[in-house]
Amino acid sequence: IVSLVALGFDIEKGHIYFQYENKKLRDLAFEIGTKTIFSELSAIYGFQGDVKIAHMISVLVQNADILQPQLREYGGPKPTVIPVGVDQDPHIRLTRDIASRMRMFLVEKRLDDKNKTKRMDFKPTYLERGVLDAIREKLKEEGYSTEEHTFHIDISNVQDVRALERIVRDVEFEHRGYGFFLPAATYHRFMQGLTGGKMSSSVPESYIALTEPPEDAAKKVLQAKTGGRVTVEEQKKLGGLPEECTIYELLMSHLIEDDAQVKELFEECKSGKRLCKACKAQAAELMFSFLKRHQEERERAREVLMQHEMYKEWFR
């Protein structure tokens, strides 16, 4: 948490919490559980009959983590973007499905033969007293032509789908519904460890911790696996393999912000103009400087957290 704040997280605009202390999160996870079935979790996560209940609950809590920013206490429904590793795609898809199931109304677009919107149907997923009447009245106020049925309403003059969605969401929210937007996500590739392959806490040489001495981190960089050839002569003749190099990945992802400079490094490596020794020396120097600066920022961040009314309890 200290490193998060040191790296720029604004504690006045963001919210840090522990799952076990957050009652709103637990309540939301419980309600999510009423919309999720075992066979679905089994298909996604491979759960078998011997899986612990706590393991399944952890999935629901993570779903709640994603949807929590849209709760009434945090300003209500809003578009959200969740940064995750690409392996978390099934989890994001599950959360989107759950968000849809927790809506009071499902909006279905019907298209004509020319693939244009012919009508928009509203089907209430569960009926709350007065909600259907409220949506009818609101649609009429906004000038929509409606065709009413027992359990759904057809709208035939739809020009702006988003405006229609906004009307429905507002009515739902006014009647104590969630009105969730489907969460979006950005997918991020995994970095390989400094020794090649995955990073592992059991292999200290494979990763760099934000709290370790800068000189130790620099030494790890100098000993890291590269994409270089067996000999200098071969490197100059054939060029290196930056796409397989942990040093290049470190420079590209963390240590150099200028894309043009990163591109230049890539091309010089591929052409054999740049050797691994130069890249390692540059990365080691940049890593040393970054960690030294970051650890100074950590001390300032700790002071900020210790003086904050909400977070100071964590430092007693």
- Domains of the chain plus CATH, in order, are 2-78 (no CATH), 105-174 (3.30.1360), 204-315 (1.10.240.10)
Q: Give dist(CA 124, CA 196) in Å, integer.
A: 53
Q: Give dist(CA 96, CA 78) in Å, integer.
A: 14
The tens digit of pLDDT for each residue in 59-76 reads: 999 999 999 999 999 999
**Across-strand partners of 105?**
124
Is the per-residue pLDDT at 96 higher than 80? yes
Using pLDDT thresholds of 50, 70 and 90, give the confidence band for residue 291. Answer: very high
Give the torsion through C-alpha atoms of 147, 139, 181, 123, to 10 deg: -20
181 neighbors 79 (Cβ within 8 angstroms)? yes
Averaged over 270-298, what is the pLDDT?
Answer: 96
Q: Given this model, what pLDDT does residue 118 score?
A: 65
Q: Give dist(CA 297, CA 158) in Å, integer.
A: 54
The pLDDT mean for the chain works out to 91
Q: Residue 169: which residues within 8 A CB-CB, separation 6 or more?
A: 77, 179
Q: Given this model, what pLDDT does residue 111 score?
A: 75
